[in-house]
A and B are shown apart, each in its own frame.
Chain A
Amino acid sequence: MWTFLARRLMQSIVVIIGVTLISFISLQIGGDPTYLFVSENASTEEIQRTREALGFDRPLHIQYLDYVWNVLQGDFGNSLSYGQPAMGVVLEAMPATIELTLFSLVLAIALSIPLGIYAALKRGRPADGGIMTFAMLGQSIPNFWMGIMMIMFFGLYLQWFPISGHVPFLEPLFAGEFRTAFANLPQSIHYMIMPALAVGTYTLARNARLVRSSMLEVLQQDYVRTARSKGISERRVILHHAMRNAWLPVVTMIGLEFGFLLGGVVVVETVFSYPGIGRLVFNAINQRDIPVVQASVILLAVIFIFLNLIVDLVYARLDPRVKL
């Protein structure tokens, strides 16, 4: 177990170094990065001053080492539009984004597992066809369009859900104000349902298909036949024998899904004017606020890497065949 952990930790560190390298390259790829940090009508002296202040006149390898050192300290420079440290601005928007991502992950998984299992049990019948058609459609709808359509129908026409905004749950929770947090919870969910469904539909669809095929495979295994022939109730066979193994591919996907969902959240937050990292990145893109874009992307990547690490460890516990 410990060697496995150590090896995975080492891998994660290598990957994080790679992440800093890629983000450094992304800064340099368009030529002199100084121009990214000054306004369009800056004078030559101002450009030169900024270049020296930010150290872009030094050799590349020195710049890189310096960049890594700053990144390690969470220092991405000041946001060009807020005038505060970029990381601070990003961290402020973080809880809302995590909240939305987690909620859409939970929603997607909670719906995809029963749907996938039901489709597998009704294989070839209309229910299976219907679920799989929806799954196919769900994988083909852009999440932001889904958001726009939901705003039009459920928000503006039926007026069931608010079309923008956010009631914080995690923020008061982390601040230790449990009473406020749980008082906010129903409102918080009410505000998050539409964006979370928009973000999670693709994952829901993909996982439903995954669970179905995984379940079909497991149902053909000898141990399921053995369990049935022992006279165990069908319900117990499915819940205790089949599902345990049908789970595994879903668990592996969760880490990857989280990253995928984070990407989706960035786009969908914009649609719902949801005050998270996505909207921050969207505004930063329009104002070419590079420090904020970089800080957001790297922070999300690091979160993603650690989540994958955790998922691997959970997977190793769930499936004893994984060599530790």
Chain B
Amino acid sequence: MTEISSAPLAAQAASPAPAHRGRALRRAVRSMVDSRWALVGMIILVIVTLVAIFGPALAPFDPNRQNILMRLVEPGSPGRGDSVYWLGSDHLGRDVLSRLLYGARVSLLVGVAAIAVGGTIGTIAGLVAGYFGGWIDDVIMRLGDIQLAFPFILLAIMFLVVLGPGLVNMILVLGIGQWITYARIVRAQTLSLREKEYVEAARAMGDRTLSILFRTILPNIMAPLTVIASFNVASVILSEAALSFLGLGVPPDVPTWGSMLSESRDHLLSNKWWLAVFPGLAIVLTVLAFNIIGDWLRDFLDPRLTRDN
């Protein structure tokens, strides 16, 4: 690590030459193991991802199958045959564990897809604004200011009420809600990078603008983008849960953690605690994992941005 000085460190970590790639990976793993929290976060994340992928195979019940005879049974209650309601059942007799496992899909999918949408729009807007400057920069940044004038969740509510609930609408609204975060960071980085020698060299060698933007500048700003994206997935998952809770999420036949919590409210007074506790814990653990990874990534990719200063 000694041969790398502080400034290009971020760039090196983000786009290492093939020979360095193995070394960078080893360094990442060692750093992750060293900061135990990051390892915990990573393990949670891997589990949630596996659950999202293999949920249908793991789920003991069909998440939508209603069973009037098994309504609101406590965690650990035996079902028919060998089956057990490990986390209890809800007011329609649906298995909470199965719904929880399926719910992981929506949370992760929405989180990652919304960031992909917002990140792509924001990165392109930021590159263009920072590289060209002038009126185009003004227009893009003022648009961002206007959007930031709305508390985000209110903006999402306003659009989702009109568009109606649905997975694609949710991803688009949450994604578009995030673009300005990326645009601002990319713009600031591009502004400083465009004066660097290697960008000037690329220009002097006759590289086309597109190539300069995406091949010369973009790889060098991936580090801060990765950090922001990690925190952002966490906040998007929280927003998705809140919107599902308000009844603006995906259609009711798709189980989500937010909508499970929304349904649990009707059974609070009768002390059906498992309906509220487990979906909430699932959200907290997933969001916590992304936040921890984000913290670690920030320290790892860019030591200048460490939490302490």
Contact = CB atoms under 8 A, between A and B. Distances in A.
Interface in B248-279: 248, 258, 261, 264-265, 268-269, 271, 273, 276-277
A161 B277 CA distance: 20
Contacts of B273: 152
A290 B288 contact: no
Interface in A264-313: 264, 266-267, 270-271, 281-282, 285-286, 288, 290, 293-294, 296-297, 300-301, 304-305, 308
Given A140-B287, A142-B238, A148 B261 contact: yes
Contacts, number: 151
B268 A152 contact: yes
A110 interface: no
| Among B154, B265, B288, B292, residue most surrounded by chain A Cβ atoms (within 10 Å) | B154
A156 B158 CA distance: 34
Interface stretch (A25-33, A51-59, A64-72, A91-99): A25-33
A305 B269 CA distance: 39
A156 B151 contact: no
Contacts of B284: 137, 140-142, 145
B234 to A, nearest CB: 7
A33 B161 CA distance: 12
Contact of B308 (A11, A213, A263, A271): A213
Given A140-B234, A145-B283, A213-B309, A262 B151 contact: yes
Nearest to A148: B276
A169 interface: no
Contacts of A143: 242
B164 A30 contact: yes
A169 B268 CA distance: 28
A277 to B, nearest CB: 10
| Among A30, A142, A213, A290, residue most surrounded by chain B Cβ atoms (within 10 Å) | A142
Nearest to A31: B162
Contacts of B154: 262-263, 266, 296-297, 300-301
Contact of B146 (A18, A139, A267, A290): A18
A83 B265 CA distance: 29
B155 interface: yes
A15 B145 CA distance: 7
A172 to B, nearest CB: 28
B27 interface: no
Interface string A82-110: 00000000000000000000000000000
A144 B261 contact: yes
A111 interface: no
B273 to A, nearest CB: 6
Interface string B275-309: 01100100110011001100100000000000111
Name the prevailing secondary structure of the B interface residues.
helix
Given A270-B246, A285-B247, A285-B248, A297 B291 contact: no
A148 B248 CA distance: 19
Contacts of A286: 247
Contact of A281 (B142, B143, B157, B258): B157
Contacts of B234: 139-140
B280 to A, nearest CB: 4
A217 interface: yes
Contact of B150 (A266, A288, A294, A301): A301
B180 interface: no
By size class, the interface of chain A is: 35 or more
B281 to A, nearest CB: 9
A300 B288 contact: no
Interface in A145-194: 145, 148-149, 151-152, 156
B61 interface: no
B245 interface: yes
B204 interface: no
Nearest to A36: B162
Contacts of A118: none
Given A213-B309, A301-B154, A145 B291 contact: no
Given A141-B284, A142-B280, A23 B242 contact: no
A25 to B, nearest CB: 9
Contacts of B149: 15-16, 18-19, 301, 304-305, 308
B308 A216 contact: yes
B153 interface: yes
A278 B257 CA distance: 21
B97 interface: no
Given A285-B157, A305-B149, 11 more contacts: A22-B146, A29-B159, A33-B162, A36-B162, A140-B291, A149-B280, A209-B307, A220-B309, A266-B246, A267-B153, A296-B154
13 contacts: A11-B145, A14-B146, A16-B149, A18-B146, A22-B147, A136-B295, A137-B288, A142-B284, A152-B273, A213-B307, A285-B248, A301-B149, A304-B150
Interface of A: 11, 14-16, 18-19, 21-23, 26-27, 29-30, 33, 36, 123, 136-137, 139-145, 148-149, 151-152, 156, 209, 213, 216-217, 220, 259-260, 262-264, 266-267, 270-271, 281-282, 285-286, 288, 290, 293-294, 296-297, 300-301, 304-305, 308
